[in-house]
Amino acid sequence: MQGKTVVITGATSGIGEIAAIDLAAKGARIVFVARDRKRGEATLAKLNAKAPGLSHKVHYADLSLLAEQKRVAAEIAAAEPRVDVLINNAGAAFAQRQLTADGFELTFALNHLSYFVITAGLRERLLGSTPARIVSTSSDAHRGMKVDLDDLQTAKSYTSIKAYGRSKLENILFTRELARRLRGTGVTANCLHPGVVATRFGHSSGGVIQPLLKAVQIFAISPEKGAETIVYLASSPEVANVSGEYFYKNKIAKTSPTASDTALAAGLWKKTVELTGVDWPEPAALRAAS
């Protein structure tokens, strides 16, 4: 990772912070997005202590807001001549259904739309830095979930578990369609299940889900173990030419049948473009083939 620039969201705690520090230790320069300034400065200090002299950098944004997603992606693209790896890791679960200022359900906005918009905003930097990689944190919580393209805001029957599971399914569908559009470009896209990890994830969610998540984490793995697959996908030569896959414990894993639905992935992509106004254009060769 010497000389490489890694952009990562959700890097101020848990597996995201561990992954950022581990990649910095391998020689990567880390550019990360944080919402909270106190935690952002703390993570930046850890990076500089672990791997000094690499000019690690933090940008601040609320990644649940569309304008903020677009702004911070544009800022990073303007500041960085290259992006070798993008790690989409920001995410949360919420006990109550909440709408953002854009009118999007909060889980959907943060867990899915931010991945899509940040990736699209860094498109030119990634394509100009080949070979490059896009890594997105999903979850086995996608299993048993469905995506209703006519109810992406989970307005019909919201539960925190359903909204979160759907968003993780959307991460896999996004990765599938993104990998298809990246074919032959030198940029790969993969996603992963980190395992059930003992972090602060969900500790401020409120409602029924908060004690449930805390209880589950009694049996969870450490953040260090949970971060391993992120680091592997971002750095290992073994996956340099692998794209469109879902990983667990550094191995390709099976997804639910719904997560492999290419028509659903294309439909979600189209709907997301309509909602955000951003796109990753389909290469002419793929349009001709289809």
Q: Which of 60, 115, 164, 248 is catalytic?
A: 164
Which candidate, 172, 5, 178, places its Cα nearest to that of 86?
A: 5
The pLDDT tens digits for 66-90 are 999 999 999 999 999 999 999 999 9
Predicted pLDDT at 282: 76
Predicted pLDDT at 75: 98
DSSP string, 110-149: IIIIHHHHHHHHTHHHHHTTSSEEEEEE--GGGTT----T
Which candidate, 68, 70, 59, places its Cα nearest to that of 36?
A: 59
Task: Give Dmax (Cα) for the chain.
Answer: 52
Give me the residue label for tokens 């520090």. Answer: 21
Q: Is 164 a catalytic residue?
A: yes
Which candidate, 191, 3, 2, places its Cα nearest to that of 86?
A: 191
Strand, helix or coil at 233?
A: helix
Q: Which helix (H) or strand (E) holds 19?
A: helix 14-25
**282 Cβ neighbours under 8 A, 6+ residues apart:** 181
**Residue ranges of domains in the chain, CATH in brackets:** 5-195+222-289 (3.40.50.720)
Burial 22-32 (b: 16+ CB within 10 A, else e): bbbeeebbbbb
How many of the other CB atoms lie within 10 Å of CB of 65? 18
- Cα distances (Å, whole numbers) of residue 141 to 130, 194, 204, 226, 266: 32, 11, 19, 15, 21
Strand, helix or coil at 21?
A: helix
Predicted pLDDT at 49: 98
Q: Which residues of the chain have pLDDT under 50?
A: 201-203, 205, 218
Identify the DSSP state of 218: G
Distance CA 215, CA 119 (A): 34
Predicted pLDDT at 203: 45
Predicted pLDDT at 223: 80
Predicted pLDDT at 182: 97
Alpha helix positions (H), the chain:
14-25, 37-50, 66-79, 106-108, 114-121, 123-127, 160-182, 209-216, 223-235, 262-276, 284-289
Distance CA 136, CA 115 (A): 8
Paired with 93 in beta bridges are none
**What's the sign of the alpha-carbon dihedral 9, 14, 20, 23?**
negative
Cis-peptide, bond into residue 257, ω within 30° of zero: no
